[in-house]
């Protein structure tokens, strides 16, 4: 696999979706959770989507429950929560695992292309790092993603060009998206 366009994922209903249909667009692929301290990221994500989608930008949302059981609902419950509370319009896919033996191949690819380099400095980031390390011990070398709302930026050719941990300011994420457009 050389680009994200080589992958097929499942939509909320369980149907296959080739990521090749997004060829030529800038993508932000995000693992999300509805009960996480970072769940408010949905607001700036949706604002960015509304502002930039006409320029060839898409956000692909993949709910995941592997981090402290913060996305326990089924696809319908998660989708309803996101649309009602945050007004999300960007595509949301089937809930997946992003770590371990059952990790979705797309996320294993993304994390291999852009590995984790840390949450940054500061007490909050150090605390998250300790909590994430405890959570991810069970996944060993397949702990690809450290926490909810990890974001991967994909260029128009389907290459992974950046990884943003949930602790990165959303203004920085938006600036990178705009530069890629």
Q: Across-strand partners of 63?
A: 32
Active site residue 82: no
HEC string of the chain equals CCCHHHCEEEECCCCEEEHHHHCCCEEEEEEECCCCCCHHHHHHHHHHHHHHHHHCEEEEEEEECCCCCCCCCCHHHHHHHHHHHHCCCCCEECCECCCCCCCCHHHHHHHHHCCCCCCCCCHHHHHHHHHHHHHHHHHHHHCCCCCCCCEEEECCCCCEEEEECCCCCHHHHHHHHHHHC
Retrieve residue 128's tokens: 């998250």
Tell me which of 26, 27, 33, 36 is the catalytic residue: 36
How far is it, in rounded angstroms, from Cα 165 to Cα 181? Answer: 21
Task: Write out the catalytic residue numbers.
Answer: 36
């Amino acid at each position: 696999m050389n680009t994200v366009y080589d992958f097929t994922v499942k939509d909320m209903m369980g149907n296959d979706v080739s990521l090749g249909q997004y060829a030529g667009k800038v993508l932000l692929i995000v693992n999300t959770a509805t009960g996480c301290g970072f769940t408010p990221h949905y607001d700036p994500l949706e604002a960015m989507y509304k502002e930039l989608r006409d320029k060839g930008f898409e956000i692909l949302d993949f709910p995941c429950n592997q981090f402290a059981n913060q996305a326990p609902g089924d696809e319908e419950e998660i989708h309803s929560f996101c649309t009602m509370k945050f007004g999300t319009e960007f595509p949301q896919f089937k809930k997946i695992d992003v770590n371990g033996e059952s990790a979705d191949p797309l996320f294993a690819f993304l994390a291999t292309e852009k590995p984790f380099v840390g949450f940054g400095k500061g007490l909050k980031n150090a605390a998250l790092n300790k909590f994430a390390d405890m959570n991810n011990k069970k996944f060993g070398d397949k702990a690809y993603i450290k926490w909810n709302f990890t974001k991967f930026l994909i260029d128009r050719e389907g290459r992974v060009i950046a990884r943003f941990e949930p602790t990165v300011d959303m203004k920085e994420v938006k600036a990178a998206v705009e530069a890629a457009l």
